[in-house]
Amino acid sequence: MKFEEIKSQAEEFLRIHGPTLQNYAHLVSWTSNNYVTDLWEKYVYLSSREPLLINFSVGFADGWKVKKRSLARRAANHVNLLTAAAIAFYKEDVDPPGEGFCFTDRHNKVFTHSRIPQKDIDSYIDHGLTSHIVVQFNGCFYRVEVFDPQTRKLYQPAQLQAILDEIMNRDDVPSDVEKNLAALTADRRDKWAENREVFFLKNKVNLKFLNDIETALFFLILDPEDFGDVANDKDVTSHYIKVMTHGKGNDRWTDKPLNYHVTGCGRIGGTFEHGVCDGVEYRTFCEYVLYHESKYVIDNTDQLSESQRKTLKYAEKMEIEEIPGMKKETLRCYEEQVKRNADFDLASIMFQEFGKGEIKKCECSPDAFLQMAYQLAYYRLHSHFPLTYEASGSLFYNNGRTETIRTVSEESCEFINDVINGSPIHLRRKSLLKACREHVLRSKNALVGKGIDRHLFVLYAMSKYKNVKSEFLDTYIGQKWTLSTSQVPNLAQICDEDAHHDMCFMAGSFGAVDKDGYGITYRFMGNHSIALHVSSYHSSPQTDSKKMREAILDALREMASYFSMEQRHQEEVKSK
């Protein structure tokens, strides 16, 4: 659609429907602690009938260069730390991230809520802070108490390890239904709601099974696979992050906000259900856990005495009763999720040539610098400017979630044109600095409530409530975010990532919003390196994650060269 046509629609909207819808939005703001969030959660997350994995859930990873540990030991460490974190946030007994303030409601929901599928629009149950988790190992499910039933104290890592080791030493063999049971939750939401009612709600045994999972603190996956050299091999890194994002087809209970995946070499990762929280919450937990594990958890396993072992409450294997049609449905859901997983194209790298420390020497915002690299890389591959979304937090506002930073600007286009047209290096450098300054301004505006996209979304929702037809709002809501990007900063500011590479959180990934576009997650690991994850879909003939990743790396190197001492010396020689 041409600019003039959109401009005409906008002018008509301002004259006719805009003022009325604005008044309705104003009225809504009087009845809610955040006039955007309620509508955003309802219509963006809970109303969609698409499967959660890849489309909505977010994958997360481990520290970059963590020490190898046994599966059970690392899992025990993290169960202990996550449960302690859940208690701390529940009691609001935690230092706010970044020495500021902390709205803890969504942190709590990670452990106290579970999503309930329904025919038209999902909901959440608040089960409170419970005392158990559910563990999946070798296709079987186990209820594990994380508090000593006699003292009511949280089990220490050595005690939890003994419980998990005991699970892994059992000879339990899952039935055909049991091994693919979790795949039911990865189905379309309306179909999962139907199967949940038929297979669980109407059967006493299966209802108990479902209740144990839905009221658990989180869902823990014990996976014997050793992923190899995740820290240094980009192909291995890509495979690891990919599996953390969507699982293996039958190892995610997607209704749980937190699916925690522990691998054979002790690496952790998993998925977050996006409806209850944003990147702020998951990266806060990841940083707290990595920091406290490095600082306080002792690597050597404490030996438990026989008397201590006798007081442990070992895992209870959860029973499932097969119902006619159940085996067929679990297999169908598993096979369909495996196909979706195969279509998900992810290319990751831990880029070590330079980090934000060197970028700052260029007098550029590191975030803006990378955003311009994405623009340059995309243009070189596709020869046009993409509608680009960068997520920004709305943490200055009660119950705030996110706002959109629109990366593409006149300044960013000028920079790209200077590069493509082969302008002199000093002009490219000048236009890059100008584009970065504009991006910083847009980022600041989004942080303080001066973004436009969430408010336009509310106006669109108001138009549907009032049955108002607006071509402008229809055009707005129908736009495709070809580049969806999200930076994962060091929010808690407790990890010294320059001194401790094991604390360098590797970020994670998400599915591209546009089926013909890219999803890019990135994170500055200290001042030295950059974690980069590029997603797309094999089914699209227009995208290729590896090509995009390499184009981004080439753009970063080229842009950094504009500021090198050698380059400036050559310019001085030419000017003389």
Instruction: Please give the backbone phi and psi of residue 141, each rounded to the nearest 5 degrees, phi first.
Output: -115, 140
Which pTM value belongs to this model?
Answer: 0.94
Q: What is the pLDDT of residues 177-208, one digit of tens each?
A: 999 999 999 999 999 999 999 999 999 999 99
pLDDT at 236 over 70: yes
The mean predicted confidence, pLDDT, of the chain is: 93
Q: What is the mean pLDDT of residues 78-89?
A: 94
Confidence of residue 262 (pLDDT cuts 50, 70, 90): very high
CA separation for the pair 175, 321 (Å, rounded): 10
Residue 284: predicted pLDDT: 83
Nearest Cα neighbor of 21 from 479, 446, 465 is 465
**Residues 60, 84: Cα–Cα separation, whole Å:** 20
- Give the model confidence (pLDDT) of 514-534 as tens digits: 999 999 999 999 999 999 999
Q: CA nearest 177: which of 340, 334, 336, 317?
A: 334
Q: What is the pLDDT of residue 256?
A: 98
- Given this model, what pLDDT does residue 565 score? 60
Q: Which domains are assigned to the chain? A: 52-344 (3.30.559.70), 352-448+480-490+499-564 (3.30.559.10)
Q: Which residues are catalytic?
A: 274
How far is it, in rounded angstroms, from Cα 246 to Cα 200? Answer: 24
Query: pLDDT band for position 290 (50/70/90)?
Result: confident
Residues 383-405: what's their mean pLDDT?
92
pLDDT on residue 2: 84
Alpha carbon dihedral 85, 89, 93, 94, in 10-degree steps, equals 70
- CA-wise closest residue to 373 among 381, 481, 445: 381
Instruction: Give residue-wise pLDDT tens across range 96-118.
Output: 665 556 667 888 999 999 999 99
Q: What local confidence, expressed as pLDDT, does residue 94 receive?
A: 77
pLDDT, residue 282, reads 80
CA 239 – CA 255 distance, rounded (Å): 24
Of 498 and 490, more confident: 498
110 within 8 A of 277, measured Cβ to Cβ: yes
Determine the average pLDDT of the residues in 49-76. Answer: 93
